[in-house]
Amino acid sequence: MVAANHPGSTSGNSVPAQSILLWQQTQDISALIDAMLGDVTWHPRINTQSIGVMGHSKGGYSAIATIGGQVTLQDFATGCQRLPNSPNCQFYQGVELDKVSTAAFNANYTDSRIHFAVALDPGMVPYLQPSSLRRLSAPLLVVAAQHYMPGNADDGLGSTSLAAYSGQHAITAVTLPNANHFDFLPQCNAKALVILAQEGETFICTSAALQREQAHKHSISAVLAFMQPWLSAPVAE
């Protein structure tokens, strides 16, 4: 497994004007595969028939994009005008969308080397084009939290709806009861609330430890079951 952070879209470096360039994070994944397969140490150890991608939130969208999921800038701009405080739009308030490249935002970033994708409570769900979902290049597992924010007061990001667009490859969706979007993150340590309070983000750590533990347990179980065909795939010659 290889993990990566993207500048402008990671802990301590979260910049909306950079993060809105969604395609760059998707391209990072392909660049990472290029690097690993081009490395004399790692290439012989990689089963190219079992390359997959997994991401959470925006990273979940990126995972879907690598197997062909597409959005359009016009849909996103229109949706955010209508619902500016929705989870997908709130972070990008103040970003000048008219300065974002429509061609790059709308493009297809399918990487045919990826054989499966896992999206953990992915972002951008309302803007994924159904036609693109029906022709995904690989199977997709969506693990959705029942709610977006702690407190069980909302209906979540709606990613289980993606299963209705299964086409060329299956889209499987499971929901974690009572979990919220932030329960996919690690357990919070004793100092976390103090630090998050300074940033106005204590909601990240308000879940009970047991709830987050259960969310992790159920997520791991679902992901391992989904990945099983590729974990046992024969190594390509």
pLDDT digits (tens, 9 = 90+) for 17-26: 999 999 999 9
pLDDT, residue 236, reads 58
Measure the CA dihedral 20/165/170/77, to 10°: 0
Alpha carbon distance 72, 182 (integer Å): 26
Binned at pLDDT 50, 70 and 90, residue 200 comes out as confident
Which amino acid does the sequence have at 61? Y
pLDDT digits (tens, 9 = 90+) for 46-79: 999 999 999 999 999 999 999 999 999 999 999 9
Binned at pLDDT 50, 70 and 90, residue 1 comes out as confident
pLDDT, residue 181, reads 97
Domain boundaries, the chain: 9-177
Q: What is the pTM of this model?
A: 0.94
Binned at pLDDT 50, 70 and 90, residue 11 comes out as low
pLDDT, residue 8, reads 65
* 233/171: higher pLDDT: 171
DSSP assignment of the chain = ------TTEETTEE-HHHHT-HHHHHHHHHHHHHHHHT-TTTGGG--GGG-EEEEETHHHHHHHHHTT----HHHHHHHHHH-TTSHHHHTTTT--GGGS-HHHHH-----TT--EEEEES-S-GGGS-HHHHHT-SS-EEEEEEEESSTTS-S----GGGGGGG--SS-EEEEEEEEEEGGGGSPPP-TTHHHHHHHTT-GGGG-S-HHHHHHHHHHHHHHHHHHHHHHHTPPPP-
The whole-number average pLDDT for the span 146-174 is 94
Which amino acid does the sequence have at 43? H
Q: CATH: 3.10.360, 2.120.10, 3.40.50, 1.10.150. Which one for 9-177?
A: 3.40.50
Alpha carbon distance 40, 68 (integer Å): 29
Binned at pLDDT 50, 70 and 90, residue 3 comes out as confident
pLDDT digits (tens, 9 = 90+) for 141-154: 999 999 999 987 88
